Each structure stands twice: as C-alpha cells, then as structure tokens.
Amino acid sequence: MNVALVFNLREESVNDDEPPSRPPAELSPDIYAEWDDIDTITAVEAALSTRHQVALINADLDVFQKLRELSPDFVFNIAEGLHGASREAQIPALLDMLQIPYSGSDPLSLGMCLDKQRTKEILKQHRVPSPRFWIVANPVEIPRNLRYPLMVKPCLEGSSKGVTNNALVHNRKELVRQLEWITATYSQKAIIEEFLPGREFTVALLGNGEDIRVLPIVEINFASLPAGCNPIYSYEAKWLWDTQESPLPIFDCPARLDPFLAQQIEQLCRNAFNALGCRDWCRIDVRLDALGRPQVIELNPLPGILPRPEQNSCFPKAARAAGLSYTEMILQVVDIASQRYNLVQEFSNESRCLL
Ligand SMILES: Nc1ncnc2c1ncn2[C@@H]1O[C@H](COP(=O)(O)OP(=O)(O)O)[C@@H](O)[C@H]1O
Ligand SMILES: [Mg+2]
C-alpha cells in the first residue's frame, strides 16, 4: 500500500545539539510534551517501510492540501494536533472528509478521550469503574466535605501535562493552590478526583470490538521514584526524573499479578476501550482502589511509542514482552486497521491482478 505517516514533529528534536526552541511566553512550558520527536517518526517510518511505500507528512496548516494531493491508500496517524480541546481529532476528521482510511480511533473517540470529564461520564454510563470526580473552574466551586487526599488535574491534557508531583493534595489549601495553578497555566477547568492509593498499571490493547488482544500488563514501580515524592506517575516522573541517559526502573512488565486480578484488569480495559468506541489500539491507565479493585484512570487512544527500550515507553514495552518487535507492533496496527476497512482483501486482489 501507499502509506502516509502523519505526525506533529517536535522541532527541537531534529538537532539535539541545538538548545530546545523556546515556546512563546504565554504558552505553558510543556506545550510540546505530547508531540513526537524525530527518532520516533524515523522508527515508525522504518517499520512501515518493511512492507509499504511510505510518505511522511507533517501535520501543519497545509496538511489538508498535502493529503488531498498525495491521496494515500492508508494513513498511519500519530499526529496529536495543533490547538484546542479536539486537537487529536483534527487529522482523523480531515481523513474522514477525504475518505482516506487511517489507523486508530475516529475524531469522536479521540476528542472524548482527551477530555477527562467526558471520558468519565461515558465510563459511568457504561458502569466501568473510575474514581469519583468533580469539575471546577474556580475555588468557590470546590465542594464542601471533600475527603482527602485528592488528585487535581487539568481536564483537557495528556502526557502528564499539569499532573505534577503537587497534583496529589491533602487539604483545601493545597487543593486551591493546585486549582489556581491549573487554571492560570492551562486556561481550563480542573478535574478533582478521589485518589486511588493502590498499585498502578498501564495496559496496551490491540484489536477491535470482541477481538481485542491485551498485551502483558505494565506496572508502575513507585519505589523507583526519588525518596519523598508522591506515588503518582507525575510530569516530573515521566519527563524529568526518568531520562534515557539514566532510566529509572519504573516499569515492571509483565506485572506480577494473580490470575484473577489480571483477568479483572483485562476485562475492565476491554470494557473501557469499547465504551469509548476506541479502534485498533489504545493504552489504558488503571489503578487499584483502597479495597484492591481496579478502576480506570484514563484512556490513551494515541499511545506514546518511543522506540528505544531505554526511553521507557509503555506500549512498545508491553509489545516487547509479548514477543513483538517495534516493527511488528506497528505492522500489527496497520493490519488491524486494514481488516476493519476490508483493505486486506482489496490489496491482496490488487497484487494478484499485478501478477
Ligand atoms: N484518581 C487518581 N488516583 C490515583 N492516582 C492518580 C489519579 N489520577 C491520576 N493519578 C496519577 O497521575 C498520573 C497521571 O494522571 P493521568 O490521569 O493518567 O494523566 P495524563 O493524561 O497526563 O497521563 C497517573 O498515571 C497516576 O499515577
Ligand atoms: Mg496517563
């Protein structure tokens, strides 16, 4: 197939000798945390090239025209989008408009999953357990009689943006401080959540509907974090304390789990995947409550896929534990999406015609 890889390039990753480009002052300093670096794009390109003709498309303001002119048979979509709460939905919406098949979830699911409030409303409707929550824009809206500790997060971010070590709050004063920081830094509402104190897992899924494969479960090893910090997978833990030069032993994969709990987690994740209408692949964060019951924290239908093992990226790590190389992982996503669109048949017929 003629495959286009569509991405948002993190510019400062192109030449590591250059100092990182400074984002404009009015934007939060972690504005580019969710975009992809050049190594990831090159690795995905290399994986796709083992079977397909590949073109690279940066998802900038000219992307619609580029896609229209190129008219690929299939798009491998890893673009996180440019601005706004529906940014992850932008490329899939354009592709739907152009009737070009693509990997991963549709605009609706991508938009929903980036919005922690909407995600949780849907999970609740489908009776998928997730921590209790309150949405607030302003300290006067903070409900009385809350039971601490609580988590405070921006409603519309990912990649741990805004979920700093201070996101776990123990009293109203800390809660107000964190809420004011979120609204000032990200110009959006905050979600306050009951804090789940148990073990944390992240779960990579491949497939669709009834046919979903759960890859070996990854456990977050909080004991590997610096002494004194909170037991959360915070922005600092993800991007500052765990570096590829000195990676923390932060993930255990496969997680040591008794079979019943493993089965409960797998079923929970399948249910969450289908409740949000996800497609092809997704990584789901799960944590145990005080009674040891798994609950969903959030879904990542555009999972991070940093290629090198020392970069500690969960989806590729789970794939490796399942015996899939990086290339096999990427090709599986293409195969799963192609089946969903019935492209497999179409292209195998075409190659027969060519013969
Ligand atoms: N309700 C919660 N209870 C316990 N820990 C939480 C909760 N919400 C978030 N966390 C911690 O914060 C981390 C980041 O939060 P998450 O909602 O996954 O945000 P992001 O979209 O940025 O990954 C989680 O991996 C987990 O460690
Ligand atoms: Mg997360």
Ligand 1 atom nearest to 131, measured from its CA = 1
Q: Whose CA is nearest to atom 13 of ligand 1?
A: 233
How many whole angstroms separate alpha carbon 117 and alpha carbon 126?
14
Rounded to the nearest angstrom, the distance between the alpha carbon of 133 and the centre of ligand 1 is 13
User: Residue 338 has what DSSP assignment?
Assistant: H
Confidence of residue 13 (pLDDT cuts 50, 70, 90): low
Question: Which distant-in-sequence residues (6+ apart) come within 8 Å of 231 by Cβ?
Answer: 197, 222, 225
Angle at 337 between CA 267 and CA 102, to 5 degrees: 125
Query: Do 80 and 90 touch, CB atoms closer than 8 A?
Result: no
From 163, 296, 299, mutation site for ligand 1 pocket: most ligand atoms within 8 A of C-beta: 163
- Cα separations in angstroms, 82 against 15, 34, 58, 156: 22, 11, 11, 14
Does pLDDT of 282 surpass 70? Answer: yes
Question: Would you say 185 and 155 are in contact if contact means Cβ atoms under 8 Å apart?
Answer: no
Q: Pairing state of beta strands 218-220 and 251-252?
A: antiparallel
Atom of ligand 1 minimally distant from the CA of 300? 21
Which neighbouring-strand residues pair with 286? 201, 296
pTM of the model: 0.91
CA–CA separation, 318 and 204 (whole Å): 7
Mark out the alpha helices in the chain (DSSP H runs): 38-49, 63-70, 90-98, 107-114, 116-125, 172-186, 235, 259-275, 314-321, 326-340, 343-354
CA–centroid distance, residue 304 to ligand 2 (Å) = 10
Q: Please answer whether residues 214 and 205 qualify as being in contact, where contact means their C-beta atoms are separated by less than 8 angstroms.
A: yes
| Token representation of residue 278 | 């996800």
Task: Give the residue, by CA position, lying nearest to ligand 1 atom 2.
Answer: 195
pLDDT digits (tens, 9 = 90+) for 68-121: 999 999 999 999 998 888 999 999 999 999 999 999 999 999 999 999 999 999
Pocket-forming residues, ligand 1, beta carbon under 6 Å: 131, 151, 153, 157-161, 163, 193-196, 200, 232-233, 285, 287, 297-298
pLDDT tens digits, 27-40: 444 555 567 889 99
How many angstroms separate the alpha carbon of residue 355 from the centre of ligand 2? 47
DSSP string, 9-20: B-GGGS-TTSPP
